[in-house]
Amino acid sequence: MAEAGAEEFAQFGAAALDAFQALFEETEHLDHRGNDAHACELLGDLLIDLMHYAQHRGLEFNDILAQAHGHHLSESNSPDVYAIGATVQLDGPAADEAILLGHPTRGSITGLLVPNHGPTEYYVHFLGQTSNQKVISADLKTAPPFSATTTTQGLINDPLHAEELLIQTMTRIGQADIQGLRPHKGDLNDQRALLDALVAWNDMEKHNVTDLLLAEVAPYLSTDAQQPAPEIPLSPAQLAAQAFPTPLAEGLTDQLPAPHNTSEHRPATPAARRHSPGR
């Protein structure tokens, strides 16, 4: 599937509003796709219910909204923000501190938060870290591109994917060693190529990069119970950055409920309950 863009994301939103509208008998006449007033009414009602849901779950809706605003800017290719998946590096005192501690200074954007007040905050994955680090925009600048690297799994052209694949490869090699088996030649070649590429891109010593990666591989190397190489899942932000794996039409066919004639069981329209004298 081709990389999803703003138009397809808008269709996902329209489909969500279709499903919300179908819950209420008295909104069947509304045409949110062609009438701006109808769209505003349904969007407002949906947002109110989402606020109630966040409150019920004990979540801070404004923080979620700020993060969503940042993702929207990123997916709209706004020049004011780094896109999800962009490669960046620390700048200024933040970079000096990381270098002093022997930490990586280059990473990939996995999320962002645009607050009502203050600078944009980015979530950045740095090599070897198990959680993303929050960094303000003033402490970041664009990093050099990652050199495309040929492996048995195909051409790898971003550091995040390279790290995930290298961890899986190192795990298979380590498990083979524990079992007294000879590692596959393809895994050995991939390990060498990916390690060299990550060392060059991160501008770090090879032993430092290896130490960071071994810390991630170690939990999977157990003599008590052999585990398969880790298949590291992508976060929602990363999935969005790399496009959805299922075409929109297929996803909607599989997920949207079938039409039914149970209008007598549907609740009253949200507009009716919100515009009543008691609301």
pLDDT in tens, 150-199: 999 999 999 999 999 999 999 999 999 999 999 999 999 999 999 999 99
Residue that wins the pLDDT comparison between 162 and 258 = 162
**Residue range 50-67: average pLDDT?**
87
Flag whether the pTM goes above 0.75. Answer: no
pLDDT of residue 133: 93
Q: Which residue, among 95, 94, 131, 82, has the nearest Cα to 203 in the 3D structure?
A: 95
Q: Which residue, among 93, 130, 125, has the nearest Cα to 198 in the 3D structure?
A: 125
pLDDT of residue 251: 46
pLDDT of residue 120: 82
Residue 166: burial class (beta carbons within 10 Å; 0-12, 13-18, 19+): buried
What value does the mean pLDDT of the chain take? 81
**Least confident range of 168-182, 217-231, 263-277:** 263-277
Q: Name the helix (H) or strand (E) containing 237.
A: helix 236-241
Cβ proximity of 273 and 52 under 8 Å: no
Task: Give residue 53's pLDDT band: very low, low, confident or very high (50, 70, 90).
Answer: very high
Task: Give residue 56's pLDDT band: very low, low, confident or very high (50, 70, 90).
Answer: very high
**Least confident range of 17-26, 89-98, 208-217:** 17-26
| Percent of the chain at pLDDT exceeding 70 | 75
Task: Give residue 8's pLDDT band: very low, low, confident or very high (50, 70, 90).
Answer: confident
pLDDT of residue 222: 67
**Residue range 46-66: average pLDDT?**
88
pLDDT in tens, 104-153: 999 999 988 877 777 888 999 999 998 999 999 889 999 999 999 999 99
- C-alpha angle 133/135/137, rounded to 5°? 150
Q: Is 64 left (phi over 0), alpha (psi -120 to 50) or beta?
A: alpha
pLDDT of residue 85: 87
pLDDT in tens, 65-90: 877 876 777 676 666 678 888 899 99
Q: Is 142 helix (H, G, I), strand (E, B) or coil?
A: strand
Cβ proximity of 212 and 127 under 8 Å: yes
Task: Give residue 225's pLDDT band: very low, low, confident or very high (50, 70, 90).
Answer: very low
**Residue range 274-278: average pLDDT?**
44
pLDDT of residue 132: 93
Residue 52, both tokens: 């109630």
